[in-house]
Structure 1
């Protein structure tokens, strides 16, 4: 049965730690049925923003809502939001299965739900071992299983690929895509665009706590282009312009044509009698673009961004924060 995802709206979100502003007037949306990458260099304010969304840190200004409600206003929040902000928030002497059973008991879920998630995340063989002996990759999978215990409509993950081997990363991509295809909302943070560019649909890039860019991965890539190499660049460029295709010569002598239609370029070159030595799509270097957008913005947060999430002393009715 399709699941209706929860829409996240962040508006003018700000967090100050004394005289330091960790998150500065941040606004963006996260849409249902899509995977959104929340990206930025280390210390950009990503984790602090997620903690405010999940009710673990009180904002200085602005709002962060889930279907129009703050986390603390949600009825049975674990059935709406599942989160994993760190892969160490479990009792090291407790088995992975028992860790999940405790979480399941808080929302009245049966043990069969625990067994289902152990199978789904690929850790049934390790389920009876103490979680303190898990590898980082196994801890990530246990954290993901914990986030899914309430069958939530929104999944929030902080650096979920940390500690995963290439096979695990491939599995994670497919698993998150499956959740989004069911209609759920998936929000994942990372400081490396390369880790998530094959996974996400949308990106929100921040630096120094401020929004740098928001849009689809396609928007980030820009217009589709192709690279052509020939010994007669002037004739090729002229022929392409007659065919309404703009083209320019790069410093290395390659011709960049403003189209991804390789057949069109080949036909134009053939009619013009221009030899072609190379013809291929020119993929945007998203990693380089990411670094250019955030270059020089990294900062030393001291203790602000990297402190464990505080427990809010005025929380009531089980709304003290997300299931980390």
Structure 2
């Protein structure tokens, strides 16, 4: 990779990232990239090491080894960190007795951002009516929106969100999808962590899936869906396969007796079956069960949950050398 690429503003690069808390390895030789103008889902079961990775990316925890950079620089070396990266790792990072608007005004003053930006973000995130109420009384969904507004105050190039859909109702999740898509359309780099593939599959462009602190899959979301095709139910799959072959369409017979044709042209499959005199009981696009694939990729004992996994000893928590915080399982 060229120097011009690695220093491109907004590009996130994680290379050989490892974090150990004593004898416990929370993140293990993890490498991936997050491209500007795209939404990347950072996925894995609870305890996979997602939050620990994000904390290292944001300079909150010192890596044992490896690097995590934004635009070619570690977070601590960014010349203008607030306008480079906006992050929302918790939905409780505010004073409960302070109103949502006052919370943002304090942050805006610290970041030298005009108060007008606060009101603009309250509108964008859909909480203007609650802005003058105490944030301690907010629902989880409202807290998520407040956290997102705080992350966007300085109009950063990169947005890092940890489980942003937690607490949102279906309408809120739909709003979040559209809002993130709008931001990525502006060229922003967006990294969103989640433990649910189904929650993000309609939103993200790329995925990074980890389990037990290790990378298990990364790449475009479309790659998880497999090769598109058609699923056909008929009385004689072998005969239909032969007829489709004449039409230059390859196919295979699945274990359940259905025929999987390598084409997305359902009309063609139906016409071939009609000409061959074969009844069709079912004809539909073939789509991958992404949730099943996610569990398949991450199955097995989750060592990072310690006592939560059968037969596994509890993992002792140790304080990080940089922050003094105890190591989190996540």
CA gap of 1:197–1:310, structure 2 versus 1, over 3 A, is farther
Matching of residue 70 in structure 1 with residue 74 in structure 2: yes
Correspondence for 1:273 among 260, 273, 277? 277
1:37 deviates by 0.2
Q: 285-294 or 232-241: which moved more?
A: 232-241
2:140 equivalent in structure 1 = 136
Give the TM-score normalised by the residue count of structure 1: 0.91
Matching of residue 175 in structure 1 with residue 176 in structure 2: no
Indicate if the aligned counterparts of 1:207 and 1:297 stay in contact, CA closer than 8 A: no
Correspondence for 1:46 among 50, 53, 62? 50
Indicate if the aligned counterparts of 1:5 and 1:33 stay in contact, CA closer than 8 A: no
Matching of residue 233 in structure 1 with residue 237 in structure 2: yes
1:31 equivalent in structure 2 = 35
Mapped to 1, the partners of 2:220 and 2:302 lie a distance apart of 24
1:304 deviates by 7.2
Indicate if the aligned counterparts of 1:227 and 1:257 stay in contact, CA closer than 8 A: yes
Give the TM-score normalised by the residue count of structure 2: 0.90
Correspondence for 1:287 among 269, 288, 291? 291
2:96 equivalent in structure 1 = 92
CA gap of 1:39–1:222, structure 2 versus 1, over 3 A, is same
1:199 equivalent in structure 2 = 203
Mapped to 2, the partners of 1:115 and 1:28 lie a distance apart of 36
Gaps of 5+ in 1: 314-324
* Cα shift readout 1:173-201 (whole Å, capped 9, x = no counterpart): 00000000111010000000010000000
Mapped to 1, the partners of 2:315 and 2:62 lie a distance apart of 13
Alignment of 1:255-266 (within 5 A): 255-266=259-270
1:245 deviates by 2.0
Using CA pairs under 8 Å that are at least 6 residues apart, name the structure with larger relative contact order, 1 or 2. 1
Indicate if the aligned counterparts of 1:121 and 1:144 stay in contact, CA closer than 8 A: yes
* Cα shift readout 1:102-160 (whole Å, capped 9, x = no counterpart): 11011211110000000000000000111010000000000000000010000000000
Secondary structure, counterpart of 1:277 in structure 2: strand
| Count of residue correspondences | 310
1:78 deviates by 0.8
Indicate if the aligned counterparts of 2:21 and 2:320 stay in contact, CA closer than 8 A: no
* Cα shift readout 1:68-119 (whole Å, capped 9, x = no counterpart): 0010001121101000001001111111001100110112111100000000
CA gap of 1:263–1:61, structure 2 versus 1, over 3 A, is same
Mapped to 2, the partners of 1:205 and 1:246 lie a distance apart of 32
Mapped to 1, the partners of 2:131 and 2:259 lie a distance apart of 56
Matching of residue 16 in structure 1 with residue 15 in structure 2: no
2:119 equivalent in structure 1 = 115
Secondary structure, counterpart of 1:279 in structure 2: strand
Mapped to 2, the partners of 1:202 and 1:309 lie a distance apart of 31
1:155 equivalent in structure 2 = 159
- What's the C-alpha RMSD, in Å, of the aligned pairs? 1.9
1:268 deviates by 1.9
Secondary structure, counterpart of 2:203 in structure 1: coil
Matching of residue 209 in structure 1 with residue 230 in structure 2: no
